[in-house]
Every structure is written in structure tokens, then in C-alpha cells.
Amino acid sequence: MKLKKILGIDIGGSGVKGAIVHTKKGKLKTKRYRIPTPQPATPEAVAEVIKKIVDHFDWKGPVGVGFPGVIQQGFARTAANLDDSWIDVNLNKLFSKKTGCKVHVVNDADAAGMGEMKFGSGKKFKGVALLVTVGTGLGTVVFTNGKLMPNMEMGHIMLHGDDAEKYASDAARKADDLSWEDWALRFNEYLKRMEDLLWPDLIIIGGGASKKDDKFVKHLDTRAKVVPATLLNEAGIIGAALTSRYYNKMES
């Protein structure tokens, strides 16, 4: 099974985005198609959006989906920034039935990390790499010599008595009307906590905020080198497609 082209979809708190990916080159073969995340973001409502994206591309092949929560064997165990009705739902089964395609679901930050380590800033990197996706929340991924530790979800550690992403995410920056420099001080606190726990050799900043790296990276003070993700917010789509390719090859 060659699986050169796979539809990748990234579920976010504000939008669901998809594109056909060339999995050998790590590039989008089509423009991204985005639909706002439905409110409330229930499994059935989001499944309908995924079907619309599949139909938009007239897609009949395998699909990879990045989901903002812990995924175990296709089941959602958490659902950050969505709806509690996701918990313990078999997303592989739900999305496959809804679309008529073979769907594999993975944690969204893990997907972004796989894309970035295969084709982006982490390509061929040896050592411990931490990728933090900064957007509605904080997604975290850890790789050791290119090997993934799945479902880290360390955007939810306690910081100043509350969930860290409520203090240091891009959504927090906007909600508190912070300048990039003031927000960088908060984000730096979070990165220092990650360094004390994980001791990464490299920190990669992904998600929507990575497009503005020139505004805040210069204000960070970390032991590890900090670099922006080169795939930007395409990483989740590319990584979701890579995940689907991996599982389809395993199952063939």
C-alpha cells in the first residue's frame, strides 16, 4: 500500500481544518478547507463537520484526524476546549461510520509533533525535543531521538494555582489583553517549568502563535534552544495524515 496521499484533518477549539497531504514530501496537495468548530462541540456535531470536509475533497481514501485530548486505541479520554460528551467515545469508529472512510484519530499535539519532527524544525534531531503548540490551549509533545511519548498533555499542569493554559496560552494573552512582551514573561514561566520536568535539548514552538515568533521569542530566557515550527499550523494536518499512513501500513 503506497498511501502517498492522505486526507489530514485538525480539530481545534475554534476551527476544523483539512487538506490532502503528500505524505512522502510532507506538503499539502490542496488548499486548507476550514469550517468553524460547532457550538456546542459535541461528537455528532463535529463528526458532521468532518464529513463535510471529506465531501468537499470528494475523498474516498484513508483519513487522519488530530483531536485536542488524550486518545487511547481510538477512544477519547479527555476533551480539552470541547465538550465532556466526548469522553470514552470510540472516535475511530464514529468518524469512520460517518464518512465511509477509514479514519484514525491521534492527539492533536502528537500529530503536530510528528509532522514537525519528520519534515520541519525537528528533522533528524537527536536528543530530547519538546514541541509546544500555542493557541486556544497549550499542547505538548516530547520526542527522544525521534521517538514519541504520546498523550503528554502537559499544558494542564498547575501554574499559579490553575491550569497552565489558562495562564500562558495565546487565548489567555488575548483575554487579558497582554502585549507580546508581557505574555512572553508568562509563557517563559511555563517553559521553565517544562525544562525542570523534562530537560529538553530543543524547544519547538508551534500552533498559531508560531507565526508571530519574532514578537516574543526574543523575550524568552530558557536553557534549551527555542525555535519556531517551520510547518506552522499545517503541522497538525500533515502529522494526522502521517498517523493514518502508519496505521494503515500496520494493518495491511
Task: Delineate the domains of the chain, giving CATH numbers in brackets.
Answer: 5-108 (3.30.420.40), 121-230 (3.30.420.40)
Show the beta-strand stretches assigned E in the chain: 5-11, 15-22, 27-28, 33-36, 63-67, 71-72, 75-76, 103-107, 128-134, 138-144, 147-149, 158-159, 162-163, 202-206, 225-228
pTM, to two decimals = 0.88
3 state SS of 222? coil
Helix (H, G, I), strand (E, B) or coil at 70: coil
Per DSSP, 211 falls in state G
Residue appearing with cell numbers 517544562: 194
In the numeric block, which cell numbers belong to residue 121? 524544525
pLDDT for 58 equals 98
* C-alpha angle 208-121-65 in degrees, rounded to nearest 5: 55
Per-residue pLDDT of the chain (252 residues), as tens digits, is 568 999 999 998 889 999 999 999 999 999 999 999 999 999 999 999 999 999 999 999 999 999 999 999 999 999 877 888 999 999 999 999 999 999 999 999 899 999 999 999 999 999 999 999 998 889 899 999 999 999 888 999 999 999 999 999 999 999 999 999 999 999 999 999 999 999 999 999 998 888 899 999 999 999 999 999 999 879 999 999 999 998 888 776
237 near 18, Cβ under 8 Å?
yes
- The pLDDT value recorded for residue 247 is 84
Rg (CA), the chain: 17
Using the structure block, give the residue that is written with the C-alpha cell 465532556. 84
Distances from the Cα of 98 to the Cα of 72, 139, 238, angstroms: 20, 27, 22
What pLDDT, on a 0 to 100 scale, did the predictor assign at position 252? Answer: 67
